[in-house]
């Protein structure tokens, strides 16, 4: 069975109808996706206009040139209409998006609250910068420690008061709480009571010379009041080398006090006791409240103790992997909370770990 060749008039009518239909649907298209679908339906490989173009070869030879020209003209017209409609729709969508995203530059601005550093971290940052100028690097350790690192290797014997269950927070043995009989973990895991165990970790990890600053959070079983808390922060320093001396320690702490509290800060050493240093000293500065004349803040002594220090005990050096006959070292430790209270004249330690914005917003300069 053969297909009858369409007469020239029928071809022209079909071409005109296809063009009119395409142009009408284009004018009604509401978005770019509809125009793309119409273009594919009419001008695509299997499109209706493409099929008409292919049928030109079925016309009588003498009619083919005119029909081909008309078909190409229709295709060009539809392609032009498609491009124009796409441009119109794209411009309209862009105008709508710009209108929706418009910002009224004459409207008053709205302020955004910016956060700032907590006063504890501001003081710690200042400490880091001061000691970095003397060549100290930061060395940190875990908050969960072993009894060995927290006590024994620091020359703190088993009968020392710091080992008391009522001072140290021991982790519970797994399952003991659920069983109704909580007991300390068999492996001796505790929450560190000071940052001093980081000294052992630093000595065992680093080779001499050592010059590190060790900040961190510590825990003790304390009744919470204006001057005590079960959670507090310390910063310790450790120097180990062949020629360190008490004179080096004194110079370092005096320079720190002047950098922290001003050039005119008065300082003094006085005897102290710490199991992991020998000899040990307490380091005082002139009272920041009364200027040394005596007041309730300094218990009328004119001095405030800000840290403890001393030469690293030979036993601690040995436990850290150093021969005390060849190496010496000094260490110092201070309460970051106490330094913050002194700097800002805060009378209650509990404010520092509270969430009262009326208090914290007073330190917005700590950026």
Question: Domains in the chain, please, with CATH?
Answer: 8-95 (1.20.58), 119-363 (3.30.930.10)
Q: What is the per-residue DSSP string for 219-253?
A: E-----BTTB-SEEEEEEEEEEESS--HHHHHHHH
Q: How far is CA 299 from CA 174, 295, 305, 335, 339, in A?
A: 46, 6, 11, 19, 17
How far apart are alpha carbons 211 and 238 in whole angstroms?
Answer: 6
Judged by phi (left if over 0) then psi (alpha if -120 to 50, else beta), residue 266 lies in: beta
Which pLDDT score is estimated for 213?
96
Which pLDDT score is estimated for 291?
80
pTM for this structure? 0.67
The packing angle between helices 8-28 and 32-43, to 10°, is 170
Residue whose C-alpha is closest to residue 286's, from 305, 310, 260, 263: 305
337 neighbors 120 (Cβ within 8 angstroms): yes
3-state SS, residue 160 = coil
Local mean pLDDT, 10-residue blocks, the chain (367 residues): 52 73 71 72 70 70 72 75 72 70 78 82 92 95 93 88 76 88 87 95 94 95 85 95 94 93 90 92 88 81 91 96 95 92 84 86 72
Which pLDDT score is estimated for 28?
67
Which pLDDT score is estimated for 2?
42
């Amino acid at each position: 069975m053969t297909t009858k060749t369409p007469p020239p008039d029928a071809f022209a009518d079909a071409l005109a109808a296809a063009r009119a239909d395409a142009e009408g649907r284009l004018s009604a298209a509401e978005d770019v996706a509809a125009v793309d679908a119409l273009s594919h339906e009419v001008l695509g490989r299997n499109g209706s206009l493409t099929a008409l173009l292919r049928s030109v070869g079925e016309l009588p030879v003498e009619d083919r040139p005119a029909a081909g020209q008309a078909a190409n003209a229709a295709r060009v017209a539809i392609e032009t209409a498609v491009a124009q409609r796409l441009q119109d729709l794209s411009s309209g969508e862009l105008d709508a998006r710009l209108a929706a995203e418009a910002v009224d530059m004459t409207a008053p601005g709205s302020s955004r609250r910016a956060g700032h550093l907590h006063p504890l971290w501001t003081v710690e940052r200042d400490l880091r910068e001061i000691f970095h100028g003397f060549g100290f690097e930061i060395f940190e350790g875990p908050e969960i420690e072993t009894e060995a690192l927290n006590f024994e290797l620091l020359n703190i014997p088993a009968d020392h008061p710091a080992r008391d269950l009522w001072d140290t927070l021991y982790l519970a043995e797994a399952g003991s709480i659920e069983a109704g009989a909580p007991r300390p973990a068999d492996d001796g895991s505790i929450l560190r009571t000071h940052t001093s165990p980081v000294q052992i970790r630093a000595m065992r990890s680093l080779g001499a010379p050592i010059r590190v600053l060790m900040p961190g959070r510590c825990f003790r079983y304390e009744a919470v009041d204006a001057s005590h808390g079960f959670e507090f922060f310390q910063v310790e320093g450790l120097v180990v080398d062949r020629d360190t001396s008490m004179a080096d320690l004194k110079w370092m702490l005096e320079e720190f006090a002047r950098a922290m509290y001003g050039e005119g800060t008065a300082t003094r050493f006085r005897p102290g006791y710490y199991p992991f240093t020998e000899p040990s000293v307490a380091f005082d500065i002139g009272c920041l409240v009364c200027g040394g004349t005596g007041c309730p803040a300094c218990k009328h002594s004119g001095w405030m103790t800000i840290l403890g220090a001393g030469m690293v005990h030979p036993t601690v050096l040995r436990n850290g992997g150093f021969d005390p006959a060849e190496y010496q070292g000094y260490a110092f430790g201070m309460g970051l909370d106490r330094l913050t209270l002194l700097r800002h004249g805060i009378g209650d330690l509990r404010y520092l770990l509270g969430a009262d914005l009326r208090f914290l917003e007073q330190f917005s300069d700590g950026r």
